[in-house]
């Protein structure tokens, strides 16, 4: 979402939303070294904020000191890929880095969309998607948003009816799980469910199909970090209709049927950082 567009001489503020994976199945390893996935992406209300302003040179700063601001950051890679005019980009981080919530990929997509729109570059949607896929596997989803079925590395997308709004609790442990480490620990592959089955689940209340919403990373990661499994179990005991790890972790998500039950559950997590959010 682009807010406060006030002309090309003033800053623009852009919301950059996180995602969760309702389901994530690893189908096999590809010849190019990547893995084929099947996942159900969901955009949520938790978001970072980017402020973009004309400047003499392309530069970036970030409120989180552990987030790099050089060309290893996906924001800078997105700006350069688009051939951005010289701008300063200030990133206010609210999405924890490395937690499986897609913050870096979302930041990159927001940068692509904002610079293209604000500088009237008129890139086609196909071109922006191609750039997004080159930057990172999850980046194309964030150009789309909402609820989407994804295959390939996660970049082949089919929009689905929105699963919104569902109250969520996000448990945010300090531990970070590297995606490469998570893939290295995978010992077995799954069969795909298929887009039409996910569509049927959504049409018939997705939370009624919690048993089918699984994440193949959980078994491997919970073996190394058993307290993550404990957070999932606590969410379920607190009334979550579904709970699971998002991405390759370490964030554990609980989905609730009402805000009141969600808020009561959130209050039980005083020993670890936890925040509320909604699907969108």
Question: Torsion over CA of 226, 227, 232 and 238, rounded to 10 degrees?
Answer: 140
Residue 19 annotated among the catalytic residues of the structure: yes
Q: Is 277 helix (H, G, I), strand (E, B) or coil?
A: strand
Tokens for 13? 């503020």
Identify any residues that bridge with 59 across adjacent strands, giving them in sequence order.
88
Burial class of residue 271 in the structure, from the number of CB atoms within 10 Å of its CB (0-12 exposed, 13-18 middle, 19+ buried): exposed
Tokens for 69? 């601001």
Q: Please report the DSSP string for 156-221 in residue order.
A: EEEEE------EEEEE--S----HHHHHHT---------HHHHHHHHHT-GGGGGGG--BTHHHHH
Q: Catalytic: which of 19, 48, 216, 232?
A: 19
Q: Catalytic: which of 48, 93, 116, 138?
A: 138
C-beta of residue 206 within 8 angstroms of C-beta of residue 213: yes
Burial class of residue 175 in the structure, from the number of CB atoms within 10 Å of its CB (0-12 exposed, 13-18 middle, 19+ buried): middle
Which of the residues are catalytic? 19, 138
């Amino acid at each position: 979402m682009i807010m406060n567009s006030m002309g090309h001489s003033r800053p623009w503020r852009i919301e950059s939303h996180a995602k969760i994976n309702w389901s994530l199945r690893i189908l096999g390893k590809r010849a190019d070294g990547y893995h084929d996935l099947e996942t159900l992406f969901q955009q949520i209300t938790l978001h970072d904020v980017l402020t973009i302003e004309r400047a003499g040179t392309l530069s970036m700063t970030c409120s989180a000191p552990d987030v790099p601001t050089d060309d290893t950051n996906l924001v800078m890679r997105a700006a350069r890929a688009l051939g951005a005019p010289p701008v300063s980009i200030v990133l206010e981080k609210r999405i924890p880095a490395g937690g499986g919530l897609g913050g870096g990929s979302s930041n990159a997509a927001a940068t692509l969309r904002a610079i293209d729109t604000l500088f009237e570059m008129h890139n086609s949607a196909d071109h922006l998607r191609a750039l997004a896929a080159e930057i990172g596997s999850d980046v194309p989803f964030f150009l789309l948003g909402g609820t989407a079925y994804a295959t390939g590395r996660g970049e082949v997308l089919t929009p689905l009816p929105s699963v919104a709004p569902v109250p969520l609790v996000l448990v945010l442990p300090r531990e970070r799980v590297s995606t490469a480490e998570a893939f290295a620990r995978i010992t077995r592959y799954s069969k795909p469910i298929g887009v039409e089955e996910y569509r049927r689940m959504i049409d018939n209340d997705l939370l009624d199909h919690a048993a089918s919403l699984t994440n193949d990373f959980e078994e491997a990661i919970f073996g190394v970090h058993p307290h993550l499994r404990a957070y999932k179990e606590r969410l379920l005991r607190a009334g979550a209709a579904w709970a699971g790890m998002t991405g390759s972790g370490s964030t554990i998500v609980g989905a609730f049927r009402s805000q009141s039950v969600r808020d009561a559950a959130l209050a039980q997590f005083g020993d670890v950082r936890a925040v509320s959010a909604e699907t969108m």
